[in-house]
Structures are given as structure tokens and as C-alpha cells.
A and B are shown apart, each in its own frame.
Chain A
């Protein structure tokens, strides 16, 4: 979902959330934020990749809940904008079949200073892992498929620490 045009009074930073099957270009996304705002002093990016799990994984298949995926990540991104002084926040999550080494998720947080950008990127990822409606299924090189990846308790703990 592209960010909507902003009115003169609207001081909230632009939130750009996209759910797509195609790949993304990290450098292009940084450039897009850089050009959108003249006073950005820090850009933090996080890229989540598909591991090969020691050579046994052929691909991940990412299922998602269309509509809710965009809505939930947008809710998390707006929460981040309320907590930190950001100048822009982009989140892109891919779905479909992704092979080892391929991109899965990108977060780009832009701010005047580094700390807000670091923390907002981490917050967005921690909440995205436990609240964005995506599910990973493993396809193995030996032809076996159909193992759904289990949710990790550590991801829940990572998200919970922001509640303090």
C-alpha cells in the first residue's frame, strides 16, 4: 500500500508498506526515502533472507493473508512512528516461493538521528514476526515438502520486551 498524499498539517512521517511476490532493491528503497526528505541524518535497513538450513532447504513457500498482511504491518509501522521521531518508514514483505539467498523482508527506517532509526527498525521487525499474518513452509532438497516452520518462543519474547 503506498502512503497517501499528506496534507499540510499532517506531520506524521510517510509509511510505505508493500506486500509483493517480486524481489526488492535495497539501494533503490534507501534512495526513495532519501529523496523524500531533505533532513534525514540516518537510515537503518534490515533485510531478512532465506537460509539454506545447512544445504537441506530447496525453497520456502510463504503464505499470507491478503489485506490483513498490509493492514497489520501498517498498524505496526504507525505505532513505530508514534514512538520514535521518524522521517520515513518502509516495510516490504514478499510472499510465494523464495529460494535460499533470496530476500524475504525489508525494513527501512529513516530519522534525523541514528538511535530512533535503529530502534524503530528493530521494533518493526520484532512485531512483524509475531503479528504479521505470514506462514513459512519448507520444501527440502530431498523432495520432501510440507513442513510448516514452527513459531519461536524467542520471537515472542523479542516482541514482548517493547511493552515494558
Chain B
């Protein structure tokens, strides 16, 4: 799965994109966030305030309980501040 990170999530992780093979047992966005946050300090810092992280699956907004089956691209970012 392709993962993309934006704004301070990107800065804390130190990457803007990566391709990962998901381990078994990861079914939802929340599962993926738990797994990512356990990878190292950067990810842990990016996802410390888990509830404010916004998610897009294949470039559409999604909730943390959304299933990942069939998803090609998941993106994680802070609340948006455009306009």
C-alpha cells in the first residue's frame, strides 16, 4: 500500500511517501495508525494525538474505523487550513 504524509505529519515522520507491506491483522485505518505509531519515534510523534489526524483513502476523506480492503493509497495529515 502507498502511504502519503502531509504538513507536520510529513515533517515528523521525515518522509512524504512510502510503500509498505501491511502485516496481517491490519483491517482498518485505526489498526494502521497503531502499527505506524509503533515503528519509531518520528511516527509516534506524528500520531501522538491520534484523534486529530485526518485520513484519506484513495484521495477521499475517511474515518478511522474505515476498512482498508482494496485501498491502494492512504494519506495522513493534520486538519486542513486552506482557503
Contact = CB atoms under 8 A, between A and B. Distances in A.
Q: Do A and B form a real pair?
A: yes
A134 B6 CA distance: 9
Interface stretch (A2-10, A67-75, A109-117): A67-75
Contacts of B59: 65, 67-68, 71-72
B67 interface: no
Given A129-B80, A150-B81, A68 B75 contact: yes
Nearest to A133: B80
Interface of A: 48, 62-65, 67-68, 71-72, 93, 104-105, 125, 128-137, 148-151, 155
A62 B82 contact: yes
* 3 residue pairs, one from A and one from B, having the closest CB atoms: A134-B82, A151-B79, A135-B7
Contacts of A148: 7-8, 78, 81
B21 interface: no
Interface of B: 4, 6-8, 56, 59-61, 75, 77-83
Contacts of A68: 56, 59-60, 75
B61 A131 contact: yes
Contacts of A129: 80-83
- Chain A: interface secondary structure? mixed
Contacts of A63: 6-7
B9 to A, nearest CB: 9
Contact of B83 (A48, A67, A137): A48
A21 to B, nearest CB: 14
Contacts of B7: 63, 135, 137, 148
B82 A132 contact: yes
A105 B60 CA distance: 21
Contacts of A71: 59-60
Contacts of A65: 4, 6, 56, 59, 75, 77
Given A63-B6, A65-B4, A134 B81 contact: yes
Nearest to B10: A63
Contacts of B83: 48, 93, 104-105, 125, 128-129, 132, 134, 155
